Structure 1
């Protein structure tokens, strides 16, 4: 009874949430439209309708999809490598103090450097097309590494003491104690890395003149004073980032539910 009631309550809340989100979105779009009408200059502030027209105009060109695909590859590549290495090296840093001391200066330095400095330095050493991917990795790696180290160090000491009493092997401790402890921190790191990865990748594409890319299309729109297309590309980037973040979060939630269901099997 309690489960069915909870499900009914969740189903009743969904329409309200959707209506609320749509209403909030319409409010900001209306505010944008009023501001554009008040400015009365598409060169300074194009209207929402003009921006959408720009999106449809861009979508009619094959290069539009090539640019999106290239940027997506750089974002996913940089974030994937940073998360993978961050999880492995973060786990090692949390378990081994010497390894942590060795890695910490590198991570601290990368965190302290301005993104622009990192982009310019990397652009001196590798091809412009690879600069966004490498820079995304360097900027996102410290986020994952720091979160995973924190997750390892937040492990319940009582579980570790119990494992010591029963002579549990290190492999079992990592699998059954440390990894469950790290999971919430890892999820937070992944979400932050995806959001940060988009910003860093597009910025690196502009500064490194990486082609094809969404970043360079932004830059060209600004150079040629095509403000409507500049807003259109910005809207496309925001929508892509939003969809990927929501899809990643949904995948993580489904994975959690699947893991819980598996644990309950006899």
Structure 2
């Protein structure tokens, strides 16, 4: 029976039985260890039990403002990520093609990589209000990662193919849309996933300090001020679930090649 490309992709994306078993063992072990340590500590202020955290989690997600909080922070995350992504692509493609252009941008990119995240957050709070500062913070933090990933992906394209497109004098915009972007997508996918995960964490940190009116970071700050440790833990799990959902969405929008998925799964099973 012959499998189509879609069939192979779906088969490769289904986790193996051993993976599910070991993931379950890991989760149960973590919960048991957490419960044991919380009993020893015997202080909900320092380490609440899993049960109390679950109860606080249920209260939070059933609250009237929960959807608004998630939607508000989610839009900030996607908005700042989109700004950094388009900027990284716009500057990364020509920098990958022309060495002089990369050298021209090397100084500002080096500065953005070296400046501490806290410094960027504080400067953003000086320049912008509490609603706009998180956008600037996340865009500046993840831009070098996306830019560097795009440059490396462009450089990984076969030089013969690049020379072929140069010989036939194809318009630059058409080359970008029809050749460069499809060619770099497999290698650029890793940079996208890493940047998206980092963006979630940086956005929450920026919200904690800037405290927009409705935000996950503001909810963290309120829980801390009220000494609600279980609430802080609950919001941590909410952020983990949000990050996992965004990562899953990215995999759906940009699925790995079936051959790559099968190869990765085979190597894991051999280990």
TM-score by length of 1: 0.86
Partner of 1:204: 206
Shift of the alpha carbon at 1:2? 7.5
Shift of the alpha carbon at 1:173? 4.5
Structure 1's 190 and 164: CA in aligned 2 closer, same or farther, altered over 3 A?
closer
Partner of 1:158: 160
Shift of the alpha carbon at 1:84? 1.6
Shift of the alpha carbon at 1:193? 1.2
CA contact (8 A) 1:154 1:181 kept: no
Moved more, 171-180 or 77-86: 171-180
Matches of 1:142 and 1:13 in 2, distance apart? 33
CA contact (8 A) 1:77 1:133 kept: yes
Structure 1's 233 and 108: CA in aligned 2 closer, same or farther, altered over 3 A?
same
Name which of 44, 57, 75 aligns with 2:77: 75
Q: Write out the 4+ residue segments of structure 1 that deviate beyond 6 Å after TM superposition.
A: 9-13
Shift of the alpha carbon at 1:209? 2.0
Matches of 1:11 and 1:200 in 2, distance apart? 29
Structure 1's 170 and 154: CA in aligned 2 closer, same or farther, altered over 3 A?
farther
Matches of 2:15 and 2:142 in 1, distance apart? 36
Partner of 1:38: 40
Q: Deviations over 1:158-177 (max 9, x none)?
A: 22344455x25254644554
Shift of the alpha carbon at 1:28? 1.0
Partner of 1:130: 132
Q: Deviations over 1:140-175 (max 9, x none)?
A: 11111111111112221222344455x252546445
1:97 maps onto 2:99 in alignment:
yes
Matches of 2:70 and 2:13 in 1, distance apart? 36
Partner of 1:263: none
Q: Deviations over 1:112-156 (max 9, x none)?
A: 000000010011111111111111111111111111111112221
Shift of the alpha carbon at 1:59? 2.1
Aligned pairs (5 A) from 1:1-266: 1=1, 14-164=16-166, 167-171=168-172, 173-175=175-177, 177-253=179-255
SS of the equivalent of 2:65 reads helix
Shift of the alpha carbon at 1:45? 0.4
TM-score by length of 2: 0.84
Moved more, 153-162 or 172-181: 172-181
Matches of 1:244 and 1:69 in 2, distance apart? 13
Shift of the alpha carbon at 1:234? 1.0
Query: Which stretches in structure 2 are left out of the alignment for 5+ residues?
Result: 259-271
Matches of 1:125 and 1:94 in 2, distance apart? 32
SS of the equivalent of 2:33 reads helix
Shift of the alpha carbon at 1:178? 2.9
SS of the equivalent of 2:254 reads helix
CA RMSD of aligned residues (A): 2.6
Structure 1's 10 and 195: CA in aligned 2 closer, same or farther, altered over 3 A?
closer
Q: How many residues are paired up?
A: 255
CA contact (8 A) 1:159 1:177 kept: no
CA contact (8 A) 1:50 1:228 kept: yes
Matches of 2:252 and 2:181 in 1, distance apart? 20
